[in-house]
Amino acid sequence: MIAASYRRNGSSLPFLALLASVVFWAANARAYTTLVETDSQYHHILVTEDADGYRRLSFERSRGNQSAVRMGHPEELYFPYARTTFVSFAFLPKIPQDVLCVGLGGGSLPMFWRRFFPEMNIDIAEIDPEVVRVAQEFLGFKPDNAMKVSNADGRVFLRRTDRTYDLILLDAYDSHTIPFHLTTREFLEIVKKRLKPGGIVAANIWSPESNKFHYAEIATYQAVFGRVYIFQAKGSGNYIFVTQKENQERSIDSLVERAKAIMEESKLPFDLPPLVRDQVVPITSETPKAEVLTDDYAPVDLLRNQAQSEKP
Amino acid sequence: MKAALPVALERTVIYAVVFVSGGAGMAFEILGSRVLAPDFGSTMFVWGSLISVFLFALCLGYSIGGRLSEKADSLALLGIMTLAPAVLLLSFPLYGFWVSGLIFDQDMGARLGPLVASCCLFFLPTIFFGTITPLAVSLLASPRHGAGRSAGDVFAISTTGSIIGTLGTSFFLILWIGTKACLVLLGALLLALSIAALGYHLLARPQGQDERS
């Protein structure tokens, strides 16, 4: 009946729309080639390459990308959040020497560090050995003597190691899959113990939209570290939390000054001072209050999908 | 006619024990992952250890329970087999996390660590859960309801409990009240059921025997 009435009206709009979407889908489908698709212990690993040579790593077909790189160009950081992690460098008096990355992804950040800071000692804790293999084979990740990957759960690695770090980057959460034992007060206390004096933590936390977990993590970081500095990676849902072993008050001006000095020292291929100045999200009395997460009580799966009510 | 009420009540108590122990067993397994994660992470090895240790304990429990049912066929035994895990779960927050940490400190490797911890923490309580199934089958079997019928009923009720225990714990309870409170809640439920079974045995059973004689 409906189709008949369209024909009578002479409208071919639905048909055109259908045709357009099929063409669009076909064009899109052709634009990506799958390099590897494999089931590991923890993920459904997929690496695709688009017409421009960008390779993307994802852990589930329907979800976002973990990492994106252009082969032979480790100096490019595709994701805004990856560039925003460098705001954490502005909290340190000099370029971090000993760095730990919890969660490898495609390894684009460690490779970038290696390219621009050749002196850096980099440890990486990655739970999934297949992710490490795929990153090496398909995404240009190359560990070396001063860049080592440990096949371990992040928390287990931090408790077993006797090393300490200038910077610990926590990047082990998917946008939806959040291992609760890497979110709690007890976990952050372990992290804090593994920081050198003056050391800092940078954590990649998903946006607060429909996500009470974001506020619970603010509360939990505050409980362990005191001040939390938050930077929103513009153009993405990622926020970077920065906390310090010593709970110093930092002005944005002083951080911007340090970011300018870093630009002169290191020739980063993007401009760091604006990332610090324009992306900071101040914590105010308006920021919703939330409960501190503990090993006993960390309902991360529930919080992740809950909207924060307007008033705390 | 006089014995009808106590027999119906006895069946209800047995079914309730079977239902709750079936639920508590699976809930305990889910909670086990929350107990082990702070020390051993959320690796595949943790889940593999947990599931195999629970199955091994159930296996042993079924076998022990079957043999016990030939020696003593009473609600008192069912009550004791419910009381033991009740006590172990109620006191779990006092020793569980400490034991897990102790085993973590031995640094036995990514596989052996969670396996040994699972054995130490979850093996013993789960054996008791296993004994309940054959004991209940034996208690419920009668000339009118044969072993097949009572086994079918017990498995169906126990598995219904397991489904509710699994979903309830993972979907709601851990998120609402946290790990320790869940363990204590399960312990308290089991304790209430064991008191009901033992109480029934002490109060109603002699009466029933009088009527039969």
* CB spacing of A299 vs B110 below 8 angstroms: no
Chain B residues touching A179 at Cβ < 8 A: 37, 41-42
pLDDT of residue A280: 94
Give the best residue of A102, A156, A177 to mutate against chain B (max B CB count within 10 A).
Answer: A156
Report CB contact under 8 Å: A181, B180: no
**In this structure, is the dihedral angle defined by the CA atoms of residues B144, B147, B150 and B156, taken in order, positive or negative?**
negative
Q: Which residue has the higher pLDDT, A118 or B4?
A: A118
Please say whether the structural domain A80-304 has been given the CATH code 3.40.50.150: yes
- Percentage, residues of chain A above pLDDT 70: 89
Residues of A in contact with B42 (CB under 8 A): 127, 153, 179-181
Is some CB atom of chain A closer than 8 A to the CB atom of B176? yes
In a domain, B179, yes or no: yes
- What interface predicted TM-score (ipTM) does this complex get? 0.82
**Mean pLDDT over all residues of chain A?**
89
Checking if the pLDDT of B91 tops 90, the result is yes
Q: Is-contact A272 A240, C-beta < 8 A?
A: no
Of B38, B110, B174, the CB nearest to A181: B38
Cβ burial B123-139 (10 Å sphere, 16+ → b, else e): eebbbbbbbbbbbbbbb
Q: Taking a C-beta distance cutoff of 8 angstroms, is the pair B6, B204 a contact?
A: yes
**What are residue A280's DSSP bridge partners?**
A231
Share of chain B above pLDDT 90, in %: 82
Residue B1: band (very low, low, confident or very high) from pLDDT cuts 50, 70, 90: very low
Beta carbons of A293 and A186 less than 8 angstroms apart: no
Higher per-residue confidence, B116 vs A63: B116
Q: Are A255 and A90 in contact (CB under 8 A)?
A: yes
As a whole number of angstroms, the distance between CA B149 and CA B144 comes to 10
For residue range B119-128, what is the model confidence (pLDDT) as tens digits?
999 999 999 9
Q: Which residue type does B75 have?
A: L
Residue with tokens 């979903």, as numbered in its chain: B167
Contacts of B181 in chain A (CB under 8 A): 296
Residue B116 identity (one-letter amino acid): V
pLDDT tens across A275-297, in order? 999 999 999 999 999 999 999 99
Q: Are strands A121-126 and A147-151 parallel, antiparallel or unpaired?
A: parallel
Q: Do A179 and B37 touch (CB under 8 A)?
A: yes
Tell me which of B21-25, B88-92, B133-137, B197-201 is least confident: B197-201
The encoded tokens of residue B207 equal: 């009466």
- The b-or-e profile of A295-307 (16+ CB within 10 A means b, else e) is bbbbbbbebbeee
Residue of B41, B175, B180 lying closest to A156 (CB–CB): B41
Q: Mark yes or no for CB contact A295/B179 under 8 Å.
A: yes
Q: How confident is the model at residue B211 (pLDDT cuts 50, 70, 90)?
A: very low
- For residues A102-115, average pLDDT: 93
DSSP B87-99: HHHHTHHHHHHHH
Judge whether A266 and A112 are in contact, CB under 8 Å: no
Residue B111 lies in a domain: yes
Distance from CA of B37 to the nearest CA of A (A): 6
Does residue A101 carry a pLDDT above 90?
yes
Q: Do B40 and A156 touch (CB under 8 A)?
A: yes
CA distance A299 to chain B (A): 4
For residue B14, is it within any domain? Answer: no
Residues spanned by the domain of B150 = 24-205
- For chain B, the domain total comes to 1
Q: Are A256 and A90 contacting, i.e. CB atoms less than 8 angstroms apart?
A: yes
Q: What is the CATH number of the domain that holds B193?
A: 1.20.1250
Q: Which of B126, B140, B139 is nearest to B62 (CA)?
A: B126
pLDDT band (50, 70, 90) for residue B42: confident
Interface test with A, best of B97, B174, B182, B185 (most A CBs within 10 A): B174
Max distance between CA atoms of chain B, in angstroms, equals 64
The verdict on B37 touching A (C-beta cutoff 8 Å) is yes
Chain B: give the shortest CA distance to residue A297, in Å.
Answer: 4
Q: Is residue B3 part of a domain?
A: no
Interface touch B175/A302, C-beta < 8 Å? yes
The token pair at B3 is: 């014995």
Contact check, Cβ <8 Å, B41/A186? no
Which chain B residue's Cα is nearest to A181?
B38
Q: Which of B39, B40, B44 sits opposite A41 (nearest CB)?
A: B44
CA distances to A177, B116, B171, B172 from B51, rounded to whole Å, are: 22, 13, 19, 21
DSSP for residue A308 = P
Q: How far is B61 from chain A (nearest CA, A)?
A: 29
B95: tokens are 């020793």
